[in-house]
Each structure stands twice: as structure tokens, then as C-alpha cells.
Amino acid sequence: MLMRTDPFRELDRLSQQLLGTSGTWSRPSTMPMDAYREGDVYVITLDIPGVDADAIDIDLERNMLTVKAERRPTAKGENVQMELSERPLGVFSRQLMLADTLDAERIEATYEAGVLTLRIPIAERAKPRKITIGGSAQPKQISG
């Protein structure tokens, strides 16, 4: 149902691990994701802990679903001196190509405990259906 659209994701993750991150604002790793079918609904869950719900943006253009989130620094003020900063900050996103078999018009999104859940119904035209066979017409007899 989904196609991966970020072929360099693993390369980015490995380079971040090898090179480390510099500065307060770093390029965050991608959002870990699970995708599965639950009955007639396709479910996508994305881990984005530490992000306020108002900092999450979900867009759909044609069949491309884009989720963007911004994790902002929590320490504020003039007298704050950061001692350790390992949590990635900044804007990051995840793009998913949705199959035509999904009903993109009826996507539902919820955000709870740092997990964004998208529920996408399977389109009616994609659901299995039974085809009935009609009876054959009675042949006409021609007299003459």
C-alpha cells in the first residue's frame, strides 16, 4: 500500500551517527513509522515525541502524504546554559506515496503520547466483492 520515497534515509542516519551532530539545532533523524492494515482501514503510526500538536503539519497533494513536525528547544531564557543536548531539534518530515486503493478523502489523524496515528480507509472500489452470475435467457423458438 505504501512506497518508500526517501532512498537516502539510511545514508543520512549512518552519516549522522558517524559524524555526530554539531550545534544546538541539528538535522533530526526521520520519524520511525509502522504501517499495517486493520480490517478495512490502513493505519500509519509515526513516533514524534516532544513535539506539540500545533507544530505538526499534515498535507496531501494528489497521492503524496507529507507529515512535517518541528521539535523546538525547551530551555528558554537568558541565564540558561545548555550542558548536554542529544535530542534532535528542528523541522523534519516524512513523505508517503498512498496507493489508489486508499480513500485519501477520509483520512483521520490523532496525536497522543508522542505518537501520530493516521487512519486511512480502504476505498470501496478496492474492497473484495462477490460477483453474481445471472441466469441465461431462454432461447426463442422460431416457427415457420
The whole-angstrom separation of Cα 38 and Cα 52 is 27
* Helix-, strand-, coil-residue percentages of the chain, each rounded to 5: 15, 35, 50
Place of cell 422460431: 142
In order of their start, the domains of the chain are 27-74+86-125 (2.60.40.790)
Instruction: Identify the bridge partners of residue 118 per DSSP, sorted by sequence position.
Output: 44, 109
Place of cell 496531501: 60
pLDDT band at 22 (very low <50, low <70, confident <90, very high): very low
What does DSSP assign to residue 102? B
The whole-angstrom separation of Cα 88 and Cα 72 is 9
95, burial (CB in 10 Å: exposed 0-12, middle 13-18, buried 19+): middle
Which has more pLDDT, 126 or 59?
Answer: 59
Mean pLDDT of the chain: 80
pLDDT single digits (tens) 43-82: 999 999 989 999 999 999 989 999 999 988 776 778 888 7
The whole-angstrom separation of Cα 109 and Cα 139 is 57
pLDDT band at 125 (very low <50, low <70, confident <90, very high): confident
pLDDT single digits (tens) 87-122: 778 888 899 999 989 999 999 999 999 999 999 999
Asked if the model's pLDDT at residue 6 lies above 70, the reply is no
The whole-angstrom separation of Cα 110 and Cα 2 is 20
pLDDT above 90 covers a percentage of the chain that reads 41
Residue 112's pLDDT is 96
Residue 24's pLDDT is 43
Q: pTM surpassing 0.75?
A: no
pLDDT single digits (tens) 38-48: 999 999 999 99
Residue 2's pLDDT is 57
Residue 41's pLDDT is 95
